[in-house]
Amino acid sequence: MKLRGKSYSVTGPVRTANEDLVQIDDQRQIYLLADGMGGHVGGAKASQLSVETVANILGDSFDPDAQASSVQDIDRWEKYLRDAISSASQVVHKLAKEDSKLHGMGSTLTTLVHRDGNGILGHVGDSRLYLYRGGVLHQLTHDHTITAQLLAEGRISPAEVNSHRYRNVLTKAVGVYEGVEADTLVFELALGDHLLMCSDGFYDLFDDHDALLKFVSDNIKADFVPALEKIIEERQASDNVSVVFLDVVPDDKNAEAETSHSQEVVLKVEILKEVNLFQQLDMKDVVALVQSGFVHRLEAGADIVLEGENPASSLYVILEGEVEILKGGARIAKLKKGNHFGEMSLLLDAPRSASVKALTDLSLIELPKTVIEQFLQRTPRGGIEFLLAMSREFAERLSEANKRTE
């Protein structure tokens, strides 16, 4: 599969210069969007240097014909992107120190690279990347702003964000300091997906997420420019407006295999998102977990967990098929698509208290304990939601067990 992009960037009716910069490279599958700050000259220079530096580094590092052959390859590419953005920050910061007219300049930077069906995201600032899949719009980036931080800490409500005095104050940007640590995310793409990369001047045109979703739904498969220009004029956009629409389209040589893979990608995310342990997580957290998991396909009768053994700890979620839980050889439960098992092993390093066997041909995703621990460390807020959900489930099981003994 491959990405195919189209972009639009305009100064808007209020601004006198465009400090945004967009670059799409369908051949190399590299896409960048930057929103500069620091005055007309400084902002434009910061966004230009940010985009040029990262594009040049990635262009030298990424072979457009190379394909991922292992998890290590994807990890290496993610590191390339993180290092490239840090290098861009050094370049911008150095020039700002050398030229007093550019003092204080900086830029947001959102970069997406596609390799072998994987989106590799690098992000700093409050520009955004959205995934549009199945009629739902998911934000995959986190805004590096004071208001986003206050919201995450529960100190303001979502309704207070738009009117907050520090709404547009960044907590992280390219070039403000010599180096910067970019957020990164690796996620699987599926045929039919659409991606939206945009500056804050674009999403600020819409009153809320539902209004943005409607615009995307109405225009993502069409020429969106006339509709966008109409909104810009009606709302008298106060900022530069930049957007990139990306379509995930098939490679004719592997269309059948890509279709099958895409169905599995969507299935994994949809089922994991419905599991009670993960229902409160953002889409970016779910796709990160899916990316780190392992899919197993087993025949009916296959043993998955054996009572009394002490294998590596993992959480399992059933994608297709059914399993039975056996204790002392007797069936005590039957689980189907969307159910999970193994969560106790994440907390206790002890022999398994029951066996799990495939009742039918089976497809399931395994999330090892190391993956869960990395997720908890990387995403504290999501980790808290996960642990709370697990605690509620254990409490419900204990309550049911108490009822049976009364």
Report how far Cα 322 is from the mean position of its chain's Cα atoms.
30
106 — phi, psi (to 5°)?
-170, 180
**pLDDT at residue 90 in the model:** 97
CATH 3.60.40.10 segments of the chain: 2-249
Global pTM reads: 0.91
Round the average pLDDT of the chain to a whole number and report it. Answer: 91
Q: Which fold has domain 258-405?
A: Jelly Rolls (2.60.120)
Residues 6+ apart with CB under 8 A from 310: 349, 350, 351, 352
CATH 2.60.120.10 segments of the chain: 258-405
* pLDDT digits 0-9 by tens, 280-312: 899 999 998 998 899 999 999 999 999 999 888
- Euclidean distance between CA atoms 382 and 278, whole angstroms: 9
Q: Quick one: residue 310, left, alpha or beta (phi over 0 = left, psi -120 to 50 = alpha)?
A: beta
Residues 6+ apart with CB under 8 A from 100: none
* pLDDT digits 0-9 by tens, 346-378: 988 889 999 999 999 999 999 999 999 988 888
**Cα(first)–Cα(last) distance of the chain, in Å?**
58
* Bridge partners, 243 (sequence order): 8, 198
Sheet holding 30-37, edge to edge: 20-25, 30-37, 106-115, 118-124, 183-188
* pLDDT digits 0-9 by tens, 15-46: 888 999 999 999 999 999 999 998 778 999 99
Could you please report the per-residue DSSP string of 27-75?
TTTEEEEEEEESHHHHHHHHHHHHHHHHHHHHHHH--TT----SHHHHH
* pLDDT digits 0-9 by tens, 91-124: 999 999 999 889 989 999 999 999 989 999 999 9
Could you tell me which of 19, 17, 75 has the C-alpha nearest to residue 50?
19
Mean pLDDT of 4-25: 93
135 — phi, psi (to 5°)?
80, 5
> Which of the four CATH numbers 3.40.50.300, 3.60.40.10, 1.10.3720.10, 3.40.50.720 does domain 2-249 have?
3.60.40.10
Could you tell me which of 364, 308, 359 has the C-alpha nearest to residue 340?
364
Contact 281, 382 (CB under 8 A): yes
**pLDDT at residue 62 in the model:** 62
